[in-house]
Amino acid sequence: MSSEEALSSTITDWLFINSWWLLLPFIMLLVVAAFIVAFVLLLYMISPLISPKPLKLNGAHVVVTGGSSGIGKCIAIECYRQGAFITLVARDEAKLLQAKKEVEKFAINDKQVVLCISVDVSSDYSQVESVIKQAQEKLGPVDMLVNCAGTSISGKFEEVEVDRFKKLMEVNYLGSVYPTRAVITTMKERRMGRIMFVSSQAGQIGLFGYTAYSPSKFALRGLAESLQMEIKPYNIYVTVAYPPDTDTPGLAEENKTKPLETKLISETSGVCQPDQVAKIIVRDAVQGNFNSSVGPDGYMLSALTCGMSPVTSITEGLQQIVTMGLFRTIALFYLGSFDSIVRRCMIQREQSKAADKRE
């Protein structure tokens, strides 16, 4: 047998065992896989077109409500370090002046200014509108508004005073609506800007002790989603930040009356430092990311609760698609452990009550 005949018989044998049509499913599979790979590559290629252009903080006017303390003050410092002009908004004038001094230490040029405005962001819209106008006259139109003024109360539903529910909605929700309402028209005219809402991990998941606080933080998400859809064509981007417990005067105050259950459950996510939280939040706002989360738990919570929220990068969208099922599985274990914390605390309380009675 010549070498040519040997070769052709090998091929015939091969074809005989695997008739070519048997290969068809594999070929189709390959083609589909190639299409998927090409599609993903294409998405990555066009992703710079979808992602917003980063905001230049150098020379920008940033208004920070709640800028006299905690996370807000650290956000102001972070922006100032990048060359921004800052307006700090809060009620207490002494605290504002003290914060102004602290922020000014981080100047990078001698033109930078820190302006202080004392106003209650939650009570009277016309007052908020007029102070924002003053700030714009002094430092120019607002490029970025950070809605960080807020407060928290924790306690069992029936133990929280009824008027606190209203108070928290006013400060945490309306206190973010009013300043936003006051800057939005100019931002739309200029076709640029950033609006940030500081929610909380308790604005993604409802927890024991937060029946008054959580709803006021969930509300910000609804506002942010609706607003983002309206103002995206005007090149204005909204960011919602969901920090975990953060070491601030606000947290210290809250801890004084926090139920044990809330403490134990919140410990899952640990306590962060406000400057770290501020760095992440400012980075996300500059990039125009809709979502801003801190730490691995924050990352999982955000992927899990993304719902119909806007997506600001292809990578983010793909990550959500791939991880959601896995994170839900992990979440079920967390929920089980939270329920058992609540049950254990209840049993302990009842036992110590019974013991007290016997004495």
**Which residues from 187-206 bind ligand VSD, rule CB under 6 A?**
200-202, 205
Contacts of residue 280, defined as CB under 8 A and 6 or more positions apart, other chains included, come to 241, 292, 293, 294
Phi, psi of 82 (to 5 degrees): -100, 15
- Provide, rounded to whole angstroms, the least separation between the CB of residue 153 and ligand NDP: 10
Is position 125 annotated as part of the catalytic site?
no
Residue 266 touches ligand VSD, criterion: CB under 6 A: yes
Q: Which stretch binds ligand VSD (CB under 6 A): 14-22, 82-90, 264-272, 308-316?
A: 264-272
Q: How many CA atoms lie within 13 A of 99 on its CB side?
A: 31
Provide the angle, in degrees to the nearest 10, between the axes of the packed helices 70-80 and 274-287. Answer: 60
Tell me which of ligand VSD, ligand NDP, none is bound by residue 72, counting a contact when its beta carbon lies within the kind-specific cut-off of 5 to 8 angstroms.
ligand NDP
Radius of gyration of the chain (CA): 27
Which residue among 47, 59, 91, 113 contacts ligand NDP (CB under 6 A)? 91
Cα distance between the two ends of the chain: 107
Contacts of residue 208, defined as CB under 8 A and 6 or more positions apart, other chains included, come to 259, 261, 262, 265, 338, 341, 342
Q: Which of 73, 95, 100, 217 is catalytic?
A: 217
Number of residues interacting with ligand VSD: please give it, by CB under 6 A. Answer: 22
- Provide, rounded to whole angstroms, the least separation between the CB of residue 74 and ligand VSD: 15
Which residue among 51, 68, 228, 313 contacts ligand NDP (CB under 6 A)? 68
What DSSP state is assigned to residue 138?
H
**Which residues from 138-197 bind ligand NDP, rule CB under 6 A?**
148-152, 171-172, 175
Is position 213 annotated as part of the catalytic site?
yes
Give the C-alpha distances (Å, rounded to integers) separating 113 from 63, 87, 116, 151, 326.
12, 8, 10, 27, 48
- Provide, rounded to whole angstroms, the least separation between the CB of residue 194 and ligand VSD: 22
Which residue among 52, 66, 193, 209 contacts ligand NDP (CB under 6 A)? 66
For binding to ligand NDP (CB under 6 A), which residues are involved?
65-66, 68-72, 90-92, 95, 120-122, 148-152, 171-172, 175, 198, 200, 243, 245-246, 248-251
Residue numbers annotated as active site: 199, 213, 217
